[in-house]
Structure 1
Amino acid sequence: MAFPTHLSADTAHNGHVVGELHESRPPRSPSAVSWGAIAAGAAAAAALSLILLILGVGLGLSSVSPWANAGVTAATLGVSTIVWLTVTQLLASAMGGYLAGRLRTKWVDTQADEVYFRDTAHGFLAWAVASLATAALLTSVIGSIVGGGVQAGATVAGGATVAATTTATGISQNEEGGSMAYFVDTLFRRDAGVVSASTAAPGDTASSYLDNERELAEIGRILMFHQLSEPLPEDDVRHVGQLVAQRTGLSQADAEKRVTDTYARAQSQVREAETDARAVADAARKASSTAALWLFVSLLIGAFCASLAATFGGRQRDA
């Protein structure tokens, strides 16, 4: 019985025949995403971005002076900060994208258009990972920029109440140095040569001191109740005027006029403080909005530079 001299690939158990069969198959192409290269590029971009940000903070602080007419202005500092953020994104993202494209594996039997797309994607992914890592490290900075507008709005909404409450409670918390204590003291100022209508006896010094303290506390409660946000009622003006007249020797009409004028001055001070608070809050809101917009632009520039640099790195890798 004759046996066949040629063995097919399906029935052959010889190692040489099977080896030749495997060698004839095309090699398996590598994965389209090289995560190792992306991680390396992202790490380099995040590190360079952190170094440049620290350098920018140092240069910015060194250019600011507490003395008048010294150092850079606020507008110059703002422009330089925007330019430095843009430069930081450009350099760091370009380096990260270039490394991601240069370190990725070589794709075999892949069309040129597909290689270009993959390199661009590698650069973009490296930029995205680096941006997320930088944001995680600088959470407080990003939060202060985004939350600045919300805090400014809250300051505008509660500026009047805070200013009035702080000014009014100053007399009860610190009679010697409170802002309202000054206005209360002006109510009881005596003109030179005027004798008080009620002069205490020499033995009643302690009793007179306690009466004065009670009067000051009473006036403080009256002003705190109205919080300088509304006109002082006529009965309160008359009552405070009586206390002022007893201690200063003024007539009732002059004492009431002094009370009205002093209260108007206090109201004017509170309104000025409220106006200043609103101006500061509005400036903070505008600065927060501008910073957020320019940060968005700088991140877009970084994404573009990373994607473009990855294509150059990929070309040099395949050359």
Structure 2
Amino acid sequence: MASATVRRGDTGPNVESSVSALTWSAVLGGAFAAAAVSLLLAMLGTGIGLSSVSAWTGQSVSGTTFTVGAAIWLIVIQWLSSSMGGYITGRLRTKWADASTDEVFFRDTAHGFLSWAVSTVVVVALVASGAGSAVTGVARTAGSAVSTVVGSATQGAAQGAAQQGAQGGFNPSSYYVDTLFRTGKPGENDQDAKVEAGRILLMGARNGSISDSDKAYLGQLVAARTGMSQEDATKRVNEVMGQIQAAEEKARAAAEQARKVAAQTSFFLFFSMLVGAFVASVAAALGGRQRDEI
């Protein structure tokens, strides 16, 4: 088959050629090849990563090792897929007969970069829905973690109020209304007492601590419902508050760890994609040079 060659013809030195220097067919071919290689290597990396971790304690690689391995594999994916796509683009593009050596080099690298850009968009489009759902789930989990652990730490003592707080419907005015109608003798309704205690605990979680008056009142509620002494009831209140604070700190630590992992992942993706863009451009230049030598 005869090779395709673009010539200016007798158009004169100051007349632009009507033929575009961009060969989209070669760019798209290289882009889809790079996208396919990226997906293949990503699946291979997923298999390797899952085989290196385990639900059993002591049978998995450390978090640092896993992170470093994932970063290296991201670079490998970009390196191999971009070089494949760029080289194919350079070999398949049209031969520019009248262009200077510098112009040919620029066009080849531009073709390789465009091939990498298109393949990146294709891969992102394929995984965007799943990745978006994962990111949204992480954000929602981090946002409601404190309210959730507060409801768990109370062990059902204030289930209704805790569920209300976890759903974002906790109204601080309910707490202040309760303080208006407090009496020295707690009421007889167990459910109302549990809901009121739950609101006090939620308000304490929001403020970071419970006031002495609220602790004393909670002690009265617990003593009236359980038959415990005031001293033992107050001790139980302090224990529950300690559990809530510990759970809150654990949730905040998990959210902070998730933030750090997300930041590191973003940096790793940036550097790997930067490597991919460079490799694709160089590979296209090499492929184009071999194309011109044929």
| Residues 68, 235 of structure 1: alpha-carbon distance in 2 compared, 3 angstrom cutoff | closer
Aligned residues: 245
Q: Does 1:311 find its partner at 2:285?
A: yes
- TM-fit CA distance, 1:147: 5.8
Highest CA radius of gyration, 1 or 2? 1
- TM-score where L is the length of structure 2: 0.75
Q: Does 1:164 find its partner at 2:146?
A: no
Q: 8 Å contact 2:218–2:234 — kept in the other structure?
A: no
| Residues 112, 243 of structure 1: alpha-carbon distance in 2 compared, 3 angstrom cutoff | closer
- Specify the SS of the correspondent of 2:95: coil
- TM-fit CA distance, 1:63: 1.2
| Residues 233, 67 of structure 1: alpha-carbon distance in 2 compared, 3 angstrom cutoff | closer
Give the corresponding residue for 1:14.
Answer: none
Q: Output the aligned Cα RMSD.
A: 2.7
Q: 8 Å contact 1:169–1:224 — kept in the other structure?
A: no
Q: Does 1:117 find its partner at 2:91?
A: no
Give the corresponding residue for 2:250.
Answer: 276
- TM-fit CA distance, 1:72: 1.4
Structure-2 separation of matches of 1:268 and 1:235: 17
1:105 to 90, 94, 107: 94
Write the mapping of 1:240-255 to structure 2, written as runs, cut at 5 A.
240-245=222-227, 255=229
- TM-fit CA distance, 1:52: 0.4
Write the mapping of 1:1-319 to structure 2, written as runs, cut at 5 A.
26=10, 30-140=19-129, 142-143=131-132, 151=139, 155=142, 158-168=144-154, 170-171=156-157, 216-227=190-201, 229=204, 230-231=210-211, 232-238=214-220, 240-245=222-227, 255-319=229-293
Structure-2 separation of matches of 1:98 and 1:305: 9
Structure 2 unmatched runs, 5+: 1-8, 12-16, 161-187, 205-209
| Residues 51, 238 of structure 1: alpha-carbon distance in 2 compared, 3 angstrom cutoff | closer
Q: 8 Å contact 1:101–1:119 — kept in the other structure?
A: yes
Which letter maps to 1:171?
A
Q: 8 Å contact 2:86–2:281 — kept in the other structure?
A: yes
Structure 1 unmatched runs, 5+: 1-24, 175-213, 249-254
Structure-1 separation of matches of 2:135 and 2:220: 51
- TM-fit CA distance, 1:49: 0.4
Which letter maps to 2:258?
A
